[in-house]
Amino acid sequence: MPFDYSLDFDDIDFRKNPELYRVGRGEQGVLLVEPYKSEILPHWRFKTPDIAAESSDKIYDIFLQYKEKDDFVGMDMARKFLQMGYTRARRYANYKGGRKYDEDGDVKERQIDSEKAESAAIFEEKWKLAREDEDYLKMKRGHQKEYG
């Protein structure tokens, strides 16, 4: 089931109302779902490989903390932040300033930034650990079966 953007995200605590949460595709809703966004976002950084390593380690640790609490929504949000660390670092690795299109709407020529590419690879490793975690996958199937 797709992520439900019709919800009033300002008034929903998804920890108290996990039945309203939809997994969606990829990173959908990553900056909308509270209180998870506020708990994870302060740790999300990818400017350098050292910063990315610290950030991805912390977010993966948060993923494991949610797992200990059987909090699927939290686990999925941490997974989304890890994925977003990878995708955003890749974007900055491929395009200076992270902008893929020029002012005319044409795709810019790629200019590979090896430092950002390394940051992306660091996030990708933790993202794969989270998305392939057996308990996460079991909880995801259960959540989707019960709530859509």
pLDDT in tens, 86-106: 999 999 999 988 888 988 999
pLDDT for 142 equals 97
CA distance 77 to 62: 10
Q: Residue 46: phi, psi to the nearest 5?
A: -145, 15
pLDDT for 1 equals 67
CA proximity to 138, closest of 48, 67, 89: 67
CA distance 24 to 53: 27
CA proximity to 44, closest of 13, 91, 93, 78: 78
Q: Please name the residues in contact with 6: beta carbons below 8 A apart, sequence gap of 6 or more.
A: none
pLDDT for 112 equals 87
First-to-last C-alpha distance (Å) of the chain: 6
pTM: 0.92
Compute the half-sphere exposure of residue 90: CA atoms within 13 Å on the CB side of its CA: 10
CA distance 62 to 99: 30
With H, G, I as helix, E, B as strand and everything else as coil, classify residue 101: strand
pLDDT for 99 equals 85
Low-confidence ranges of the chain (pLDDT < 70): 1
CA distance 148 to 140: 10
Check residue 42 and report its DSSP letter.
G
pLDDT for 109 equals 85
Q: Identity (one letter) of the amino acid at 144?
A: Q
